[in-house]
Each structure stands twice: as structure tokens, then as C-alpha cells.
A and B are shown apart, each in its own frame.
Chain A
Amino acid sequence: SYELTQPPSVSVSPGQTASITCSGDKLGDKYACWYQQKPGQSPVLVIYQDTKRPSGIPERFSGSNSGNTATLTISGTQTMDEADYYCQAWDSSTGVFGTGTKVTVL
């Protein structure tokens, strides 16, 4: 079955840039999207179709996808961005989530 691998954790200082990777076989040939989940809350879509931001998502969130790796970048990270982040793609009509990355802002 298809797998998407993320680093378990990423630490970033306020105002700095956080990059979260998502690796999967030929992931660049698929659309990747990203979700943010804060404790006790439902996930929220932050990036879809590799690079697009939904309405209401700050411009500091951006995405890319090429080769075997999709990347979520948070520029000028704020304390409110501390959360778990999951990438997601589709393989053979089934959904696949990444392993998840905990972003700590300190």
C-alpha cells in the first residue's frame, strides 16, 4: 500500500521559517494537500492541489510538490501555528495520510 512519510517533529523559533516534508513514491505525480490539527480540534485544510491556499488561510502558508517530496512551508511562524500537520494524497482511488508532524514554536 502507498505510504507518505513525514518527520515526527519540527521545532521553529517565532518569526522563522518552518519546512515540513512529506515523502512518497512519485508523489509529484499526484496532488498533495496539507491539514493543520490543533489539540482537541478537527483538521483544517491549509494547502490543496500542491500550492493553493483556501480562503482564510494566511499567506505565510505555502506548498510545493516535486519528485518524491511535497513540502509545507510556514514563513514568519507564529505561536498560533503550533499544531500537528498532515499531508494527504490519493493512490488508486484510496486516500492516504502522512504520518504527521508536530510543529513546536519556541
Chain B
Amino acid sequence: EVQLVESGGGLVQPGGSLRISCAASGSTFSNYWMSWVRQAPGKGLEWVANIKQDGSEKYYVDSVKGRFTISRDNAKNSLYLQMNSLRAEDTAVYYCALESFKHFDYWGQGTVVTVSS
């Protein structure tokens, strides 16, 4: 059974930066594409970014391009999201999710990011 545990969320001022992490266990992390998905308060799910097994391909939703960077460390079974120039509209629960044939088999419990002054 795969377990994904996010961490690093918190309160940050507009324009600030934050890095969130996702620790994976129970599976061969390096075999899978990984994604970040977010959910603003009371809103629906929004895919944010994903990264190929070896990190050679990365894709982003338009609203975060140039501000967010997804990365991974397969030796540490970890996924990261570096978020810069944060805006109020980035406030959300951020989930990491393991991709399998273009669907999300496993999700973490989420970490809350709040952008506010």
C-alpha cells in the first residue's frame, strides 16, 4: 500500500515563497509520474504540475508557470513544489498524487497553504 505524506504548508505573505514536500513509502517511487493537485477553500480540484519518473519532463497549469517549480529526489522518495511570488489565489490544500497510466491511484492527506498579509 502506497502512502503519501505532505508537509511544509503554512501561512505566507503575498509575494513570498514556500516549499512543500511529499514523502512516499510502500512503493517504488521512482517508477511513477507524480503530480501536485490543489483545492481552494470550498472549490473544486485543480491540477497544478507533474513530473516524469527521472525528472526530465515537467508540466504546469498556466496560472503557475514561471512561479512554481516541481522537483523530485528519487533517492529520498520525495516530491517537492517550490512556490514563489505567491498570490492570495494560491491559497489551497495541496495534495500530492501518484500517477498510474494517467490517473491518480494514490493521494496524500494534503497540506494547507495560506497566502495572506
Chain B: interface residue total (CB-CB under 8 A)? 22
Give per-residue flags for B60-93: 1 if the beta carbon is below 8 A from chain A beta carbons, else 0.
1110000000000000000000000000000000
The prevalent SS among residues of A at the interface is: strand
Query: Interface size for chain A: under 10, 10 to 19, 20 to 34, or 35 or more residues?
Result: 20 to 34
A-B pair count, CB < 8 Å, reads 58
Give the chain A neighbours of B110 by CB distance below 8 A: 42
Q: How far does the alpha carbon of A95 sit from the alpha carbon of B103 in the complex, in Å?
A: 9
Q: Are the CB atoms of A42 and B103 closer together than 8 Å?
A: no
Q: Which A positions have Cβ atoms within 8 angstroms of B?
A: 1, 31, 33, 35, 37, 42-45, 48-49, 54, 84, 86, 88, 90, 93-100
Identify the 4 closest CB pairs spanning chains A and B, nearest first: A95-B47, A48-B103, A100-B44, A42-B107
